[in-house]
Structure 1
Amino acid sequence: MTDVLDSLSLHSAPPALRTGPLADAQAQLATAIAALGYEPGLHQLLASPRREMTVSIPLRRDDGSVEVLTGHRVQHNFSRGPAKGGLRYSPTVDLDEVRALAMWMTWKCALLDVPYGGAKGGITIDPRRYSPDELQRVTRRYTTEILPIIGPDKDIPAPDVGTDEQTMAWMMDTYSVSSGYTVPGVVTGKPVSLGGSLGRASATSAGVVHIALAALEHRGLKRSASTAAVQGFGKVGADAALFLTEAGVKVVAVSDQYGGVHHPGGLDIRALQDHVATTGSVVGFPESEALGGEELLVLDVDLLIPAAVEGTLTGANAHHVRAKVVVEGANGPTTSEADRILTEAGVLVVPDILANAGGVIVSYFEWVQSNQAYWWTHAEVDARLETRMLQAWNRLLDVAATRQLTLREAATVTAVERVADAHRTRGLYP
């Protein structure tokens, strides 16, 4: 495996020097390539993005000053269909992060047998420091810049960190104005009033919880007697915590970027959501103890859901994790070193490309509905989502047992094999 990985001159830096999400994504791919016995040429093709675009985004601020931001869109692979992936607004966005996220989207879509390839976009911006009007101007200019490479049959963006259904509405409108007619299928995760799907807003959270409950059962843990901690109380973590509580799991701790709260008897998640809506943070929630962000990761709970950002479980803290099951709500929250440590400690880690795939599944449902102009009920969406998630979970368990792999290795091997098969069937052009 090392010889194959070292033979690739990916993005200039030697393998020993690459760190961060892209290094983790490449390491996971290399492990799958070794297990499948693929040749270096196919490895290089699967490791390299098919298309990348970096754009400058000039913004006139509300005070009249001009600022230039940087945006990216990476299309990792489209052997199995049009590219699909979110758009994030974050001050930490850089090209390597977007490359990693696009690759993970390829494997996620393949693992769930959704007919997409993987893509991702991002703008280096802290959306909290900009007005709604400024964010609209940023979104519309970014959309205009990447217009040639997106479309309902090319690449379909969706919300991610720092973006929401309003962002998607602006993107859809900008694309539609350029086309001369309304094109609802160019994005997913848009408002229901503009052709969005019922159930899309909470789909990622719902998928995380379907898998979390199945993983607890797999480990012989009853949900009614289980405890959980959720890192991240945003669009994924907040609803995941609520759905876990409704399923009978006691959520004893949650955190956000400002801090965390803990209550051994279980937190009132609905009251906590109201508190966050009023104050902007979980910090200071009544009838709870303050908790540091790192402290939440090492609490003595049955289930840990890292649902914030990538790289939060690392070699520095993984030795101290006491959860029996880790279900990745965020993309890439566990580094390769932490993954090894947790596996050796007997912790069941359910990888992100399965655990948080609910969003892309319902995005696919939304895309289908938009293209057919036929809308499903909320109950239909929820039932189809649960079926797809649990089918993928059961297949993953079978592959892991048959090939003697961890769940992450089994997931990546399954996904990579499907993408490689599609590529080989299509052939190399010219």
Structure 2
Amino acid sequence: MSMTLPNAIESAGKTRDDNAFFEVVWRDTESEATGYLVIDRLFRGIASGGLRMRAGCSLDEVRGLARGMTLKESIHYEPGAQYVPLGGAKGGIDFDPYHTDADAVLARFLQAMAPLIATRWTMGEDFGVQQATIDGILPGLDLTSSIQAAEQVVDDPRAAQARMHTAFSSVVDEVSLDELVGGYGVAQSALAAMRRRGMDPVTSTAVIQGFGSMGGATARYLAEAGVRIVGIVDVEGVVANPDGLDVETLLRSRSAKGSVDRSRLREHDTQRPTSDWLAIDADILVPASVSYCINEDNQADVRARLIVEAANMPVTPEAEIHLTARGVDVSPDFVANSATNAWWWWVFFGDVDGTPEQSFVKIADRLTALSDEMFDRAAEQNISLRAAAFALASCRLDEISNDFPTY
């Protein structure tokens, strides 16, 4: 099976093997919004992947995100586990998520996609879309949940829903568990990479770009490990302190959209324009917000030794060539930020019971193991971390393809 890496799909030549299984374009009749659904692969008749909304979202972007979901699913294949990976999919809406009509646009898109949500596409929140908003819309469309399609392949749907209730009603230090698991996985990936590169957390620093559920949790768990978070980037700019920001205070007081409450900054915390985000001295850079934010034009400004992709496709292929040549490691998104998706399915299919205790243990074990496998393969074959992770995911995808039906 021939596949292009997710962040290179836009510039790749297409072959039949490389094309997505299914694509649809939706045009809103009441606004200028355009939406896309791409199902990259189906396994057991189902594909998994979230829905994002941002101005400028394109079909090629959604294609890349859907391919990334195929890799995130397949790389977590564990023979004998309850969770058998699904295919990869993604939805995207080209519309400003801060516009007053955003929720209405989202509702109309979901209405159009309802038959696929019911039977083929398991979905959830992504950039610009909140799960609570999705959950509030779906009952009016006669849908029980955003992962309704997966009930077709679980042994006991009621037990699965009970585990999901436990997971999504759990709170850890004033933050919902479902808002923490993705960033916890990113932090574990970062810490595993740091160990492989001889970086001591206590003497290391990090900048987090994006302070929503993924970036906020990454900051929390890196700080807990001793890493100084010296910069946080949100839609209003950069807050920074070379001695480290008070992550917990900023996390608990952030807005629903992930904005830092500037009134909670301390005396020596500073504010800088967004354009300065790559200019802050740090060992680790965690882009946790938007795609393509590190590109050929700004890659030379990167000062970090390690980039951990908490966002989907934040580093372009052209930028990564230059970064790799300078010795900057990039832990790719389909490993580093894969915990959110995998955790949903570990809970749903019964590999964990939905409690924080089991959830965190499983995530730490799997993300550390995957990171180590990736580093080992990269060293053995003298290839980049992304190429090594791609090879691992591709091998597991072949195993799934041989062992389980498409429909």
TM over 0.5: yes
For residue 123 of structure 2, the aligned residue among 148, 157, 160 is: 157
Q: Which residue is equivalent to 1:24?
A: 8
1:346 aligns with 2:327: yes
Q: Which residue is equivalent to 2:201?
A: 223
Q: Which residue is equivalent to 1:127?
A: 97
2:212, 2:257 within 8 Å by CA — same for their partners in 1? no
3-state DSSP class of the match of 1:229? Answer: strand
Q: Are the structure 2 counterparts of residues 68 and 316 from structure 1 closer, same or farther at C-alpha, using a change threshold of 3 Å?
A: closer
3-state DSSP class of the match of 1:129? Answer: coil
Q: Which residue is equivalent to 1:145?
A: 112
3-state DSSP class of the match of 2:254? Answer: helix
Q: Are the structure 2 counterparts of residues 108 and 325 from structure 1 closer, same or farther at C-alpha, using a change threshold of 3 Å?
A: same
Larger Rg: 1
Aligned length: 380
- Percent identical across equivalent pairs? 31
Q: Which residue is equivalent to 2:153?
A: none
Q: Which runs of 5+ in 1 are unaligned?
A: 9-20, 31-42, 59-65
1:45-194 paired onto structure 2 within 5 Å: 45-58=16-29, 66-67=30-31, 69-79=33-43, 82-113=46-77, 115-130=85-100, 135=103, 137-151=104-118, 154-175=120-141, 177=142, 182=144, 185-186=147-148
1:369-384 paired onto structure 2 within 5 Å: 375-384=353-362
For residue 235 of structure 1, the aligned residue among 190, 213, 226 is: 213
CA-based RMSD of the aligned residues comes to 3.2
Amino acid at match of 2:318: E
Q: How far apart are 1:183 and its partner, in Å?
A: 5.2
Q: Which moved more, 1:414-423 or 1:329-338?
A: 414-423
Q: Which residue is equivalent to 1:18?
A: none
Query: Alpha-carbon deviations, 1:296-348, whole Å to 9, x = none?
Result: 22322111111111111111222232211111111111111111111111111
Query: Alpha-carbon deviations, 1:223-270, whole Å to 9, x = none?
Result: 111111111112211221122111111001111122101111110112
3-state DSSP class of the match of 1:266? Answer: coil
1:171, 1:187 within 8 Å by CA — same for their partners in 2? no
Q: How far apart are 1:283 and its partner, in Å?
A: 7.5
Q: Are the structure 2 counterparts of residues 385 and 247 from structure 1 closer, same or farther at C-alpha, using a change threshold of 3 Å?
A: same
Q: Which residue is equivalent to 1:12?
A: none
3-state DSSP class of the match of 1:52? Answer: strand
How far apart, CA to CA, are the structure 2 residues paired with 1:196 and 1:262?
A: 32
How far apart, CA to CA, are the structure 1 residues paired with 2:149 and 2:246?
A: 35
Amino acid at match of 1:75: I
1:231, 1:237 within 8 Å by CA — same for their partners in 2? yes
Amino acid at match of 2:116: I
1:266-281 paired onto structure 2 within 5 Å: 266-274=244-252, 276-277=254-255, 281=259
Amino acid at match of 1:53: V
How far apart, CA to CA, are the structure 2 residues paired with 1:171 and 1:279?
A: 19
Q: Are the structure 2 counterparts of residues 427 and 86 from structure 1 closer, same or farther at C-alpha, using a change threshold of 3 Å?
A: closer
Q: How far apart are 1:149 and its partner, in Å?
A: 2.1
Q: Which residue is equivalent to 2:363?
A: 385
How far apart, CA to CA, are the structure 1 residues paired with 2:198 and 2:91?
A: 39
1:44 aligns with 2:10: no
How far apart, CA to CA, are the structure 1 residues paired with 2:129 and 2:304?
A: 31
- State TM-score, norm by structure 1: 0.79
Q: Which runs of 5+ in 2 are unaligned?
A: 78-83, 151-160, 171-176
1:320-359 paired onto structure 2 within 5 Å: 320-359=301-340
1:89, 1:162 within 8 Å by CA — same for their partners in 2? yes
Amino acid at match of 1:377: T
1:55, 1:72 within 8 Å by CA — same for their partners in 2? yes
Q: Are the structure 2 counterparts of residues 406 and 26 from structure 1 closer, same or farther at C-alpha, using a change threshold of 3 Å?
A: farther
Query: Alpha-carbon deviations, 1:136-160, whole Å to 9, x = none?
Result: x434332221122223x62200110
